Amino acid sequence: MPATYRTIPVRELSEEELTALSRDMKLSLSSEDMLVVQQIFREIDREPTDVELEVIAQTWSEHCKHRIFAATVQHTVDGKQEEIRSMYKTFIQRPSKEIMARKPGFVLSCFVDNAGFIKLDDKLSVCLKAETHNHPSAIEPYAGANTGLGGVIRDILGAGKGAKPIANLDVFCFGAPDTPESLTEGHNIIHPLGIMRGVVHGVRDYGNRMGIPTTSGAIQFDPAYIYNPLVFCGTAGVIPQTDIAKEMKPGLAVVVIGGRTGKDGLHGATFSSAAMGEASAEEDQQAVQIGNPIEEKKTLDVILEARERGLIEFVTDCGAGGFSSAAGEMLSETGGNVYLDRAPLKEGNMQSWQIFLSESQERMVLAVKPENVPELQRLADTFQTEMTVLGESNDSGVLRVWHHGETVCELDNSKLHEAPTKHLTSVFISSPSRTGIALNDTHLGADLKEVFGDFAVVSREPIIREYDHEVQGNTVLKPLAGAAADAPQDASVIDIDGSDKLMSLALAILPEWGKTDPYAMGAGTVDETVRQLIISGTNPDKVALLDNFCMGNPESPVELGRLVECAKGIRDAALAYGAPYVSGKDSFYNYFETENGPVNIPVTFLCSGFGVVEDVSHVCGASLRRSDSVLFLVGNTEDELGGSVYARRHSIVDARVPQTDCTANFAIYKRYYERALTKGLVLAAHDLSEGGLAVAAAEMAFSGKGGLCIDLDKLPTAHGWKNLVVPCFAESTGRFLVEVDPDMADDFASAMEGMPCARVGYATSDGKLTLTSGGKVALQEEIAALKHIWKHGLTPYY
Amino acid sequence: MPHALLLKYPGTNCDVETERALSAAGFSTQVQPIATATPVHVERAQLVVFSGGFSYGDYVMSGRLAQLETERFLGDALQKHFDKGGFLFGICNGFQILTKLGILPRASLIWNKSERFECMWDRLVKVSASCPYTQLLPDEFELPSAHAEGRLVCDLGDAEKYLANGCVALQYADNHNGSELRIAGLQDPTGRAMGLMPHPERFLLPRHHYDPDWAGDPDWGWGYYFFKGAFEALK
């Protein structure tokens, strides 16, 4: 039999030769990294095998190790220098630990497992995880998005001793679907329309077949995403609290369940840690995996049943790095053996490293007591999926990988987990921001129609309908509601089997803001997420967050500077809202080399949040319910047009971006929740976000139950404005419209006394949106006409 | 207490909520994966249920592989169950399977007119007066739908025949998937076997309606009454 592994001499190589080796083997390791690798093998006094080099490359890849988020950054803001030792520890972990210390018992597990868990009630816990699958989706949109969702579902299945997936979220950033073909021709990239259709179908075919409702999502369009589309997929799960903790012990059988191992998905982890180029499509085809949701559904059925029967000691998914990372996670401390010969393969003649590193989909690795293996085998047979005992744990402290009777990999993991620290520099220069810009406010109606036709605002209905958002029969607040089930909502709320409490889910993403004020983007994005959750019925003290960052080239100081400033914003916001980050992920190198230089995506921050709704009576939709009700606006409106849809449509690039006082906002939200929402004073509430007040008011009325009349002069404000574009279209944070029964209006006003809150208008039965100022009509449009523009914005492209 | 058996195939995914609805209506329930199902399981049940999902992925014609596997594991047990007066109920993918099994009148469920998966609520109209599953429901009501292959087609003239002989249990008011004669649900002439594309198990409680002001029924969603109707006929 020909050898299935090679020994690669590295001990005597020069730095140049090491770098060349890394390039030839596609290891994506820098010359500094390769020198450390060389040192490791000099110390243990032998040459590495190709399996070992591949394992190191995978372990140290950006995808797995987040070395940029852990790097030491010399950051300069407006000439002042500061040193950040690990953005992750400084801006994510430290504030989260501080919050957890303030709220003992709320976060049950975070930073250690596949997802972060929070307490739902006395018995159950809910968790959430979101990931990106950007590079695969750029090359093969259907398969890339398909396996992106499949992967994050497995994260939840491998969280604790196996959580049950109960909801999916999906967020996309694309080039506009009407992008001229001339912009994509000749670049060997797929047109944004092809990306969008492929990605949506990929998410659809995986999520629907898994029987998990896709309840939340968003799409952003920007020309910079033409070359590097972003695809975020997330999954929420539920698990008994007693099944969260898992521990490896010596003497357990290590078992793989699900799909077979093949040559698909090789080098996925290292591939996603490098830039895209025009040759990517061909070279990297084999890094994109192929999805089979039914295989994963069978695996899910086995794992949930096995967990309920108490058969599982430890479980994790085969994600990036395949068996290598799963076995590494399970066996690096206890030690153990993995026998590659036993792995069921899709094809013959696979090299040892290919079997060990393959990222073939739909595989889960479990550790079970040897006496429970037969019962687990019966379950696998019952659900018609394949199961194999791949190896065992022992107390040697060393993971040995065997193939055809030979050791092909034997690494001391304590050395591997100390990847060399990266050193980076970043710079941020704050740009001037204008207020009081002279704008024409005499055709606000036409402006509103233009804003409603913008891709940032239009209805996602054609996409939402392709996803099953009601399977499992627990979606209480759906993505679309109102009298005709087509009006937008702010959050989704999911009933949890076996509990009186519910879980809420919301997200926000505002990449436009970060182009001028990334700190404000960070704070504003967190604010919007928290606000949506609370006004939909979530207890303000029971909100947890996820941070997902994407950016271009981190070695560009200007690009990295924006990321650092954004991270500061999200740290401060989390502390103010008492909402810890319980999980997160980052994706770098989202830039594309063209003959005219690199195109970087804007620094993009997705904030997903989830929380506890204490009682189904607290669930509150965003759609107008009556034609005789009164409207209150909570939160100040300021002269902050920066980053708004209006500003983009009018090419205003230097207006002030909304500034968020998170501490003040949180006091407002808590008051609203405690004294208004949970006291039954609220009929409906809708957050003000993209498009500002005019869009939010019309969206409320898209329920089809009434029109709205609002007096712009009554809007709460601290500093006012010079023209009516501001109250109509500024996207100041912290604001939401509240519909109140006229008989409860006084009670509501006194509940909110002392807060920036005013009675600004009333519902009508005239079917119009009317905004007035100085006793005159400033804007009046038929709701039906606005809804038509909004509802059909995407349909021509879809 | 009437007993309901729910057969679960690889890719079946509405079993939890369907079992929840069966229990709420009073049935004792058992969810049985097809690979371990035996004729004895069928003999113990008064009602055999096929829930929604994507059996075997539905990569070939929906329900076809499930039909072949059912025959492999259960032989003619389902036909015997039916002949002895037993009930069979198929929802969405279960309707597709029940159609392939030949227990319901001959028809096929093919790709929607839109050629898309569509998740939306449907208004439905009760047609057959002899359907135990719909006996407790008003003449017109709503249910959520979610399917790509829900367009019912028949051999030439069959749809008219089914309408005339009482085999059409439900019609769509709007017919978004393009079914012949707007047929949403079929039954055998006795009404003991029934299948429909929409999902009654997803509208068990008023809170499951998309409109918080829905006031059709104070205690239950319309979907509950399908299961309750079967329970009443069997108790």
Backbone angle region of A643, left / alpha / beta, with phi > 0 → left and psi within -120 to 50 → alpha: left
Specify the DSSP class assigned to residue B214: -
Give the mean pLDDT of A296-314. Answer: 97
Helix (H, G, I), strand (E, B) or coil at A202: helix
Show the beta-strand stretches assigned E in chain B: 3-8, 28-33, 47-50, 87-91, 108-110, 118-126, 140-147, 151-153, 168-172, 183-187, 193-196
Q: Which residues of A touch B52 (CB under 8 A)?
A: 471
Percentage of chain A beyond pLDDT 90 is 84
A616/B202 CB distance under 8 A: no
Digit-coded pLDDT (tens) for A518-542 = 999 999 999 999 999 999 999 999 9
A481/B212 CB distance under 8 A: yes
Q: Which pLDDT band holds residue A284 (cuts at 50, 70, 90)?
A: low
Cβ(B57)–Cβ(A297) under 8 Å? no
Give how far B99 is from chain A: nearest CA, Å.
20
Which of A211, A485, A705 is the closest to B14 by Cβ?
Answer: A211
Which of A321-335, A490-504, B187-201 shows the lowest per-residue confidence on average (mean pLDDT)? A321-335
* pLDDT, chain A, mean: 93
Helix (H, G, I), strand (E, B) or coil at B188: coil
Backbone angle region of A285, left / alpha / beta, with phi > 0 → left and psi within -120 to 50 → alpha: alpha
> What does the alpha-carbon distance between residue A88 and residue A292 come to, in Å, rounded to a whole number?
34
Q: Which residues of B touch A485 (CB under 8 A)?
A: 120-121, 210-211
pLDDT of A282: 47
Q: Which residues of B touch A209 (CB under 8 A)?
A: 11, 13, 54, 57
pLDDT of A333: 83
And the tokens for A465? 């309908």
Which of A292, A382, A616 is the closest to B207 by Cβ?
Answer: A616
B119/A497 CB distance under 8 A: no
And the tokens for A790? 């909004």
pLDDT of A660: 98
B202/A466 CB distance under 8 A: no
And the tokens for A336? 């153990």
Task: Note the ipTM here.
Answer: 0.96
Residue A645 CA: distances (Å) to CA of A174, A331, A652: 16, 51, 10
> What does the alpha-carbon distance between residue A198 and residue A205 come to, in Å, rounded to a whole number?
11
**pLDDT at residue A278 above 80?**
no
**pLDDT at residue A290 above 80?**
no
Give the mean pLDDT of A136-146. Answer: 92
pLDDT of A288: 67
Give the mean pLDDT of A429-434. Answer: 90
Give how far A700 is from chain B: nearest CA, Å.
13
Q: Which pLDDT band holds residue A207 (cuts at 50, 70, 90)?
A: very high
Instruction: Give A776: exposed, middle or buried? Use CB within 10 Å, 0-12, 13-18, 19+.
Output: exposed
Helices and strands (H, E) in chain A, number of each type: 27, 33
Tell me the torsion sign for CA atoms A419, A421, A425, A428. positive
SS (HEC) of A542-566: CEEEEEEEECCCCCCHHHHHHHHHH
* Chain centroid offset of residue A47 CA: 41
pLDDT of A268: 62
Q: Annotated catalytic, B118?
A: no
Instruction: Give A596: exposed, middle or buried? Use CB within 10 Å, 0-12, 13-18, 19+.
Output: exposed
* Identity of the residue numbered A389: V
Cβ(A31)–Cβ(A13) under 8 Å? no
And the tokens for A120? 């739902």
Chain B contact for A686, CB < 8 A?
no
pLDDT of A408: 95
> What does the alpha-carbon distance between residue A248 and residue A327 come to, in Å, rounded to a whole number?
11
> What does the alpha-carbon distance between residue A132 and residue A230 come to, in Å, rounded to a whole number?
7
Q: Are strands A363-368 and A314-317 parallel, antiparallel or unpaired?
A: antiparallel
A73: which strand partners? A84, A424
Nearest Cα to Cα of residue A245 among A355, A163, A339: A163
Digit-coded pLDDT (tens) for A78-130 = 999 999 999 999 999 999 999 999 999 999 998 888 899 999 999 999 999 99
Among B81, B147, B199, B209, the active-site one is B199
Give how far B202 is from chain A: nearest CA, Å.
4
And the tokens for B135? 């006996």
Chain B contact for A293, CB < 8 A?
yes
Give the mean pLDDT of A425-443. Answer: 93
Q: Which pLDDT band holds residue A274 (cuts at 50, 70, 90)?
A: low
Q: Annotated catalytic, B208?
A: no
Nearest Cα to Cα of residue A113 among A59, A169, A163: A163
Highest-pLDDT range among A271-280, A360-369, A594-603: A360-369
Neighbours of A245 (CB within 10 A): 12
**pLDDT at residue A668 above 80?**
yes
In whole angstroms, how large is the CA radius of gyration of chain B?
A: 16
* Chain centroid offset of residue A496 CA: 22
And the tokens for A447? 């402006």
* Identity of the residue numbered B143: L
Q: Which pLDDT band holds residue B119 (cuts at 50, 70, 90)?
A: very high
Give, rounded to a whole angstrom, the gap between the first and last alpha carbons of chain B. Answer: 7
> What does the alpha-carbon distance between residue A666 and residue A734 come to, in Å, rounded to a whole number?
9
Give the mean pLDDT of A189-203. Answer: 94
**pLDDT at residue A276 above 60?**
no
Give how far A294 is from chain B: nearest CA, Å.
5
Cβ(B199)–Cβ(B184) under 8 Å? no
Q: Which pLDDT band holds residue A280 (cuts at 50, 70, 90)?
A: low
Neighbours of B38 (CB within 10 A): 12
> What does the alpha-carbon distance between residue A705 and residue A763 come to, in Å, rounded to a whole number?
9
pTM here is 0.95
Neighbours of A529 (CB within 10 A): 30
| Dihedral angle computed from the Cα positions of residues A642, A648, A651 and A654, in that order, rounded to the nearest 10 degrees | 20
Percentage of chain A beyond pLDDT 70 is 97
Tell me the torsion sign for CA atoms A34, A360, A607, A545. negative
